[in-house]
Amino acid sequence: MRWSRYLVPLCMSAGVTLASFAVQAAEDDPWESINRPIFTFNDTLDTYALKPLAQGYQAVTPQFLENGIHNMFRNIGDVGNLANDILQAKPRAAGIDTARLLMNTTLGLAGFFDVGTKMGLQRNDEDFGQTLGYWGVGSGPYVMLPLLGPSTLRDAPAKYVDSYTDPYRYMNDVPARNSTIGVDIIDTRASLLSADKLIRGDKYTFIRNAYLQNREFKVKDGQVEDDF
């Protein structure tokens, strides 16, 4: 259901067009006959449950509060960014994300205010799947995961490793943990409602191509050449 997070970065990733990437993306999807039904399940659940909840959340939540909550979850995500900066041997990025965490957690009141960005510390976006790709592990076939959305044979198991940098694993209060996860999911979906209008043509194909292009762009730190 989190496929829409890949649409905005897709439009920002210059160097490879979606059209030129489509042929390669189709070749990377040998399990399409399985992936499509899973996508349909995810999309139906998103259409009738998650998206309406996100729209309601956005409608009743004041903008400053919505921004603050979004910033707090991004601040939590900076822990994973920092861990993967280190694993990728990127000292400059690690230093920036360390400074962001310190500034936003303290001066930013647990991340409610994104002080780091205002100070010129631009957020990195790293995960363990990117780390594996950075060290030469191929992405493998495209995989559509139930509930979790698009992935690859490399990125899917990497999500489990990334879970160790999330606070939810260490929360013993089950209701509090589930509530926090729920708000995180709804906040993420609400922040991406505007991305829905970017979809063109077959939804499954568009999202697959968007995901694979975006992952290549991130793994190569934007150094992607158009070979078509």
Report pLDDT for 24. Answer: 67
**75 domain-assigned:** yes
Residue 26 lies in domain = 3-218
Report pLDDT for 22. Answer: 59
Q: Are strands 149-152 and 142-145 parallel, antiparallel or unpaired?
A: antiparallel
**227 domain-assigned:** no
CB-count exposure of residue 145 (10 Å: 0-12, 13-18, 19+)? middle
Q: How far apart are CA 74 and CA 81, in angstroms?
A: 10
- Counted domains in the chain: 1
Average pLDDT, whole number, for the chain? 89
**210 domain-assigned:** yes
Report pLDDT for 133. Answer: 97
**225 domain-assigned:** no
Tens of pLDDT along 96-120? 999 999 999 999 999 999 999 999 9
Report pLDDT for 20. Answer: 55
**67 domain-assigned:** yes
| Ramachandran sector of residue 149 (left: φ over 0; alpha: ψ -120 to 50; beta: rest) | left
| Residue 96 or 9, more confident | 96
**228 domain-assigned:** no
**114 domain-assigned:** yes
| Residue 135 or 226, more confident | 135
Share of the chain above pLDDT 70, in %: 86
